[in-house]
Chain A
Amino acid sequence: MNNNKSILVIEDDPDIGIMIKTILEYNHYSVELIERGEEVEKVANNTLPHLIIMDMLLSGVNGTDICYRLKKENTTSHIPIIMFSAHPNAEKICMDAGAEDFIAKPFDMNELLAKINLHLS
């Protein structure tokens, strides 16, 4: 049922990124994983995924800035973004940046799947 849904995952820690990719793929999503924040906007504009999952802290760039810019861009503004972080005050920062949802690290994959399902239905 999720066959035609594509998700872009941005996570600089490959351990976490691969884990998310594996589980989402097991759940029949098509997943693109990128490690570097700088590539997000380009990829998002090219592939126009159904949903973006993004870590708030990314190597070199700030996840919230990317979120903000994606939400401003006409072509990508409609794409729901779920952000996650281990930072205690991250939720408000992410919501302020325009994210649709937030999930705290270490997260429960079942909870993440539920949120993805919610935003894609």
Chain B
Amino acid sequence: MVESNTGVKLFLLVNINPLFDKDGNPDGAINIFQDITESKKTEEALKVSEEKYRRLIHGLPAAVYTTDKNGIITLYNDAAAELWGRKPEIGKDMWCGSWKVIDADGTTVIPHDKYLIALCLKEARKISSNEIFIVERPDGTRRYFQAFPEPILDQDGNLIGAFNMLLDVTDSKTVEEQKARLASIVETSDNAIYSNSPEGIITTWNKGAEKLYGYTEQEMIGKPISILIPVGTDTMINEPTIQHYETKRIKKDGTLVDVSISVSPIIDNKGNIIGTSKIARNISLQKQQNRELQESSERLRMAIESTEMGTWEFNLELKKLIWSAETKNMYGLHPDQEVIEEEIRMQNHPDDQEYVAAEVLKAMNPDSKGDFNIKYRIYRKNDNELRWLKVQGKVFFTNGNPDRFIGTMLDITDEQKKEQELKDSVELFTIMAENVPAMIWMSGNDKFTDYFNTTWLEYTGRTLEQESNEGWLENVHPDDVQKCISQYQYYYKKQKGFYMEYRLKRHDGHYRWIADNSAPRFSADGKFAGFISACLDIDDQKNSSEKIQQSELMLNTISNVSPVGLWMTDINAQNIFVNETWIQWTGVPLEHNFGTGWLQKVIEEDQLTAPAKFLESMSKKEKYTTEFRIRNKEGVLRWCLTEGSPYYDINGEFAGYAGSVTDITEMKKMESRKDDFIKMASHELKTPITSIKGYVQLVESIYAELDESKMLSSVPLVKNSLNTISKQVSKLTRLVSELLDLSRIESGRLDLYKSKFDLAELVEEIVQDTRHTSTRHIINLDKNFDGNIYADKDRISQVIVNLLTNAIKYSPNDDLINVSVYGDNTSAIIEVVDNGIGIDKDDQNRIFERFYRVEGKSEQTYPGFGIGLFIVSDIIQRHRGSISVESNKGKGSKFKVVLPISDDEQQ
């Protein structure tokens, strides 16, 4: 290595070239220095690039997928599909799908429930394991991978799924294997391989070194390297580049040995030399031979031929090519073979023929300096292999005419290959980095980011210059900047990969969530060299998961405040959800409703029928409707009506039933009251009809009597019969009109025909009429009201009759009934007070309801429609009045009607 006048260090390959006389005998030599700096750099760059490339693969977030809590795949990326060698169906396939996972030994197939993800889902915890598995793809190929499953928990800490990252470690496995292979090569190599620290202390020592120098590993580690070096020999310990030289070294036995040594510096990431490694070969024998050979020109020639470089001379005068054996060898010619210009020109690669010819002409141009330096391809004669050659030479002119043209030739195919590999590798890296959908950045060991791929730049809409160094932070959401910096610095110190999420401003000015997955990079010698990171826009995911959370919250709220119970089953008819309403009713906590748990509050008689009906509906995927009874948490029997329908998942697959439960206890009671009403109505209607029919038949039979005197004697009976018939018809009319009123009220057609009338007078009339019909009861009237009210007289009359009739009806033993009418200038009040059986507190508010009849043993005692008070209440309300009751069971009741004297309409 030399330093050029511009201060650049250059690698030079030195060759001593013989010169030949016209007879082909050597008559001197020239030294040719070949600049191999570029090829050295290429070699280095290749190593670094390969490392980058490998790290990128590792650094990519790689295979990532998520599952729901049952292990059904919900999401996966291309890398995952690539790893698996298939594309599982989202929402259907389990994590395990149909592919096979084998243990790292490649022998045991792992059962699906032993997968790390299965364990993660089962135990709802992150599984940290560095265990390596093999996935066998459907096509039979295998990949090594590591799995890092993590549970996904909702805000309450319930398991809702899992996230798994599969790291494809096939490459690192291979590298490990290669390293191991390399290590064994080093260990078993015949070459002496050893290294030392910058201070010259030996740090490694292999078997080859022991063989060469006679010292064992134990003897040499920690010893200064100087014990090997003869006094006065150049040591070259701390040269920053790779050196090849030949020198002498002292063996353990004190003798000298000729060695060829290659010294490579060990450079840390700051460019400091932290040691050197050496490969030494015993060349004593070779040296000895060389020395002998040097004694003659023949020996010299042999020595030259033993080097790789060929020499040539083109005698322009004679048009004759003189090639060294090495040069001929490069062309695949026999050493004895004559070189004929036309023939060897044919070996040139067709694409290079013109170029070579042009360069030759250029060099021979007397105006030029005669320099000749080309690279071109030939097909080697003996094996027709394509080889790259580097040919350098010089044309000598005599009197302005080209005279001799001499030079060297080097087969650079291997270097070219390396260069090509580097180019390919760089290209591959670039193509990959530029084409992956992920945004990629890379930082060096100076902490600053120096690479952003096109995806990143397109995403942010910025230039590489803008993003470089810390520029990219300008586009990070202000709230996330600090987090980014501190995380980066933390992991930079630890030299460990990291994952972080932050908001990055997209080219359209919107901040979007980015998942940044960084992996550390290491240089060829294992030094930390910064990070490579792949980033993904996860904004949609994040938003959708937020939206899902929101909609879940909304659904929860709706479901919990719903007045009806809600439930869901899975496809196996097992309950998977009940809402808060149902839980409130039954007092059974959510988790105890799962499966068939919900049945525990269903009464025994219905415990079999309700599920049986459900299974029947489910088998046909039909709507499910049934009634069942439960005991609520107070132990009260409640009637429930449940209705459910099948629901389908996003893929249209049947996923279970969802439905509601309505408390229909009140409805049931109403229904049964309606039944009672119908029974009662028919009984009530039948009674007068039976009576009428009987009297009609009696009258008929009287008039059928042939004995005239007998018939005449029955005249009073006929009169009495007709009287009764008339009364019964009135009763029937009243019942029918009550029924009509009911239907009018129900359809909102109960109209009022208002007029001014004397209320006290009306009350008195009714009381007197009633006194006539019900002689058993004493009815007192207390009149304290003067003047008219504006109301429907017939309806108010109906109200008073009804109250009075009820008072009589429910006072079977006590005969005293007090009626009073009083008021002021705004309201008139009518009170009807009996001392009868009274009404239970629970019933008092409900007696004005339709069909409501006080239940109990006395039910049969007081037949009636159960609509009287309902109609009364409705009439009063239509008059903007009010009706109320005060009652004590067994002591009697007081009904109080308050009516406005005039209503707003009139004023």
Contacts and interface: CB of A to CB of B under 8 A. Distances in A.
A19 B686 CA distance: 14
Contact of A57 (B691, B698, B860): B860
Given A15-B724, A18-B724, A26-B702, A107 B861 contact: no
Nearest to A84: B690
Contacts of A86: 682-683, 686
Interface in B722-742: 724, 727-728, 731
B437 interface: no
Contacts of A22: 694-695, 698, 717, 720-721
B687 interface: yes
Interface in A10-44: 13, 15-16, 18-20, 22-23, 26
B714 interface: yes
B366 interface: no
B683 A26 contact: no
Contacts of A78: none
A108 B717 CA distance: 19
B860 A59 contact: yes
A18 B690 CA distance: 12
A74 interface: no
Contacts of A13: 687
B260 to A, nearest CB: 122
A72 interface: no
B224 interface: no
A24 to B, nearest CB: 10
Contacts of A23: 694, 697-698
Interface residues of A, number: 21
B688 interface: yes
B686 A106 contact: yes
A92 interface: no
Contact of A59 (B689, B693, B697, B861): B861
B702 to A, nearest CB: 7
B836 to A, nearest CB: 15
Nearest to B860: A57
A15 B728 contact: yes
B701 interface: yes
B691 A16 contact: yes
Among A23, A58, A87, A108, the one with the most B-chain Cβ atoms within 10 Å of its Cβ is A23
A105 interface: yes
Contacts of A26: 698, 701-702, 714, 717
B730 to A, nearest CB: 12
Interface in A75-121: 86-87, 105-110
A57 B679 CA distance: 13
A108 B688 contact: no
A19 B698 CA distance: 9
A105 to B, nearest CB: 5
A18 B694 CA distance: 10
B695 A19 contact: yes
B689 A106 contact: yes
B720 A19 contact: no
Nearest to A25: B717
Contact of A108 (B682, B697, B728, B860): B697
A11 to B, nearest CB: 10
A107 B697 CA distance: 11
The 6 A-B residue pairs with the shortest CB-CB distance in the complex, in nearest-first order: A106-B690, A19-B694, A109-B697, A109-B694, A106-B686, A15-B691
Interface of B: 679, 682-683, 686-691, 693-695, 697-698, 701-702, 714, 717, 720-721, 724, 727-728, 731, 860-861
7 contacts: A15-B691, A23-B697, A23-B698, A26-B702, A86-B683, A86-B686, A109-B694
Given A87-B679, A105-B687, 12 more contacts: A15-B728, A19-B690, A26-B701, A26-B702, A60-B860, A105-B683, A106-B686, A106-B689, A106-B693, A109-B693, A109-B694, A109-B698
